[in-house]
Amino acid sequence: MTDSPIARLQSLFAAAADPAQAESMARYLKGRFPFHGIPAGPRRELQRQAFAGYQLERAQAEAEAAALARALWALPEREYQYAACDVLRAAAPRASAGLLPVIERLAVSKPWWDTVDSLAHAAGTLVLAHPELGARMQQLSRSSDLWLVRIALLHQLEAYGRTDVDRLLRTCAFHAGSTDFFVRKAIGWALRQYARTDPTVVRAFVEAHPELSPLSRREALKGL
C-alpha cells in the first residue's frame, strides 16, 4: 500500500463502503453528494489508521493540514469532506490566523450545513486563539454568501464566557429579518448556546427584536 495518506484513506474507505447506507446518507442530504456509506465512528477510526504518523495538532502541521484538507475536498464522496473538516479542527488550536482563508474557501465549495457547521467550529477555535480575526468574522457576517454568514453566526458556539457578545448580537440583529432557513436556524442556535452563559441577555435580545422569525425565537428560547 502506498505511503500517501490520501491513497490509504481511499483504500480503507472503499473496503468499508456500504451501498445501502450510502444511499440512505445521500438521501438525507437531498441527493447533493455521493457517499461511501460509512458512519462517523467507523469513519474516524479509518482516518486514524490512514493518517497514522501525521500529528496534525502539532504547531508546524498547519501547511500540511491545509494541503491535506484541500486534497480531500476534491474527492467525490462526502466522507472525504468530513475527513477534511476533522483535519482542520485538529490543526486549528495551534494554527496561525492564516488557516482561516482555507476554511473560508472550502466552506463555499460543495457547501451544505453538514460541512459548514464543522468548519464554523474550526473557525471559532482560530478566533479564540487570534482575537484579531473577530474583525474578519464581522466582515463575513455581511457576506452575500449565506454559508459564510452561517459561519459568522456559529463560530462562537464553544466560546461560552469568552464570547464576544457585542459581535454575536450585532450579527443576529443584522440578519433578524432573514428569510433563509439556514440563517434563521443559525441565529436561534447561536443565541440558545449563549443562553447557557447568560440567559438574561438572550431573553432581552429576543424581546427587543420582534422581527426575528418564529424559528429563530423558538430555537433561542428553547430550555429557558
Angle between helices 199-208 and 165-174 (to 10 degrees): 30
Q: May I ask the CATH architecture of the domain 161-224?
A: Alpha Horseshoe (1.25)
Q: Where are the domains of the chain?
A: 161-224
Q: Which residues contact 50 (CB under 8 A, 6 or more apart)?
A: 5, 8, 9, 12
Reported as a pLDDT band with limits 50, 70 and 90, residue 61 is: confident
Q: Is 213 helix (H, G, I), strand (E, B) or coil?
A: coil
**Taking Cα atoms as reference points, which of 106, 89, 105, 75 lies closest to residue 6?**
75
What mean pLDDT is reported for the chain?
Answer: 95
The per-residue pLDDT for range 141-198, each reduced to its tens digit, is: 999 999 999 999 999 999 999 999 999 999 999 999 999 999 999 999 999 999 999 9
Q: Residue 84 has which C-alpha cell?
A: 477534511
Q: Is 142 helix (H, G, I), strand (E, B) or coil?
A: coil
Q: Is 41 exposed, middle or buried (0-12, 13-18, 19+ CB in 10 A)?
A: exposed
pLDDT of 50 over the 70 cut: yes
Q: Residue 133 has which C-alpha cell?
A: 480575526
Q: Which residues contact 21 (CB under 8 A, 6 or more apart)?
A: 35, 37, 38, 39
- Tell me the whole-structure pTM to 2 decimals: 0.94
pLDDT greater at residue 153 or residue 55: 153
15-18 own/partner pairs: CB under 8 Å, 24+ apart: 16/42, 16/46
